Amino acid sequence: MADQLQKSRRQVLVRLESILGNACYNANIQNYGPGGIREAEGRSFRYPLTLRLPDGSKQKVSSGTIPDSVSDDALRSGYYAFGANQLDVISALDRMLKYLEQHHDLVIANGG
């Protein structure tokens, strides 16, 4: 079990993942409105984040943000699946924050 995340750091990680996850777009999706009338091509969507839960099961977050009820360890395990590959997105975002803290004087306030 890893150290507990500070509340402010957790909030930043959750928000950054939400921004990233909601930046997906597929130009090949066809959009049809009422009566089957084609309205436009393409659609933005939230890329699903997969969390590994303590019991070994997985939980997908496909809308909104990561629930507050998710443990810090499960949060840290969050990844995007790309076929047989995965991007450990929460771990990568945390490493980016650490880099910015060490090399660019980023300070994440302990409030909130």
Rounded distance between C-alpha atoms, residue 81 and residue 83, angstroms:
6
Q: State the average pLDDT for the chain.
A: 91
Residue 112 has pLDDT above 70, yes or no: no
Boundaries of every domain in the chain: 47-106
Hey, CA dihedral for 104, 75, 71, 47, is it positive or negative?
A: positive
**Model pTM score:** 0.85
Answer yes or no: are the C-beta atoms of 93 and 106 closer than 8 Å: no
